[in-house]
Amino acid sequence: MSFNNLDQLYRQVIMDHYKNPRNKGSIDDGSVTVDMNNPTCGDRIHLTMKVEDGIVTDAKFDGEGCSISMSSASMMTQAIKGKNIDHAIKLSQIFSEMMLGNDYPDDLDLGDIEALQGVAKFPARIKCATLSWKAMEKGLEGEK
């Protein structure tokens, strides 16, 4: 697949998560709640996660922001469901490295999250992409 076709596919994946967000809403009995914002561009996220026996059993988000911020939150909530806390935090660290343009393990399938790797070319947008991930890390660090 050519670079242009791959770039177009990634844009489609991002827009699909933006227009049809997965896990949008909140968990009423969520054990972890985190509110964060990016004052630079106005993105804001309200993240709720249910953690049972060290496993993220559910994750939902609400908020406002650009397509990158909201699609990243959608992808992140999908990625961490069913994962133990350490694995979820490790995914966040790998994602942060990807946002800096660094490689991640070849054997790691990030699924739709890979669509966000192009954000690394736009430093001003990195905070948009990482907002929900930082919120997740903050919430789960308190659960360790």
Residue 87's H or E segment, with its range, is: helix 85-99
How do the domains of the chain map onto residue ranges? Answer: 3-141
Q: What is the pLDDT along the chain (144 residues), one digit of tens a residue?
A: 555 666 887 899 999 999 999 999 999 987 899 999 998 889 999 999 999 999 999 999 999 999 999 999 999 999 999 999 999 999 999 999 999 999 888 778 899 999 999 999 999 999 999 999 999 999 999 887
Residue 64 CB partners (closer than 8 Å, separation 6+): 42, 43, 44, 70
Q: Are strands 55-64 and 43-52 parallel, antiparallel or unpaired?
A: antiparallel
Q: What is the DSSP letter of 117?
A: G
Whether 116 and 16 have beta carbons less than 8 Å apart is answered as no
pTM reported for the whole predicted model = 0.93
Reduced to 3 states, what is the DSSP secondary structure of residue 83? coil
User: Residue 108's pLDDT is what?
Assistant: 83
User: Residue 30's pLDDT is what?
Assistant: 76
The domain defined by 3-141 folds into: Sufe protein. Chain: A (3.90.1010)
Q: Nearest-CA neighbor of 33 among 53, 51, 9?
A: 51
